[in-house]
Amino acid sequence: MGVPVRVWPRAPLFMKKLHFVFDKTDKSKNFKKFIKNKYKNYSASKSSHIIIAGGDGFMLNCIKKYYKFQKPFYGINCGTYGFLMNNYDKKNLLSKITNSKKVIINPLNLMLTDKKKNQKRCDSNK
């Protein structure tokens, strides 16, 4: 007689180690108060996901800053429009992260040439 074993298709919800980064807006400060009481904030290097609460610009800055850790990002809109972000909602955060669709974006690389023909390269991931 065998022992039933559950095979997880994804990492179980309780195994997620989240690193939270909050913008300085009132909405993200409010969200931070809620998160502090409910979740542990792991360091970026030891986390499984990086959760950004802010606007699109803040999200892009955080991607640039935390890109080196090679972790998936999940954005929560605490800004105005939030084209890159998920809806602001305090309920079922872990299941929303687990069930979210993976989207890969490519960092922008830019080559500038000034009037004197000097060139400068700008990489968004550095």
* Token output for 70: 């090679």
Up-side HSE of residue 53: CA atoms within 13 Å toward CB? 22
Per mean pLDDT, which range of 46-55, 91-100, 105-114 is the poorest? 105-114
* Token output for 29: 């400060």
26 among known catalytic residues? no
Q: Which of 26, 56, 114, 123 is catalytic?
A: 56
Mean pLDDT across the chain? 83
Q: Closest Cα to residue 50, out of 96, 15, 17?
A: 17
DSSP 8-state symbol, 13: G
Reported pTM: 0.74
Structural domains present in the chain = 16-123 (3.40.50.10330)
Q: Average of pLDDT values for 7-13?
A: 51
- Specify burial of residue 75 (Cβ count, 10 A radius: 0-12, 13-18, 19+): buried
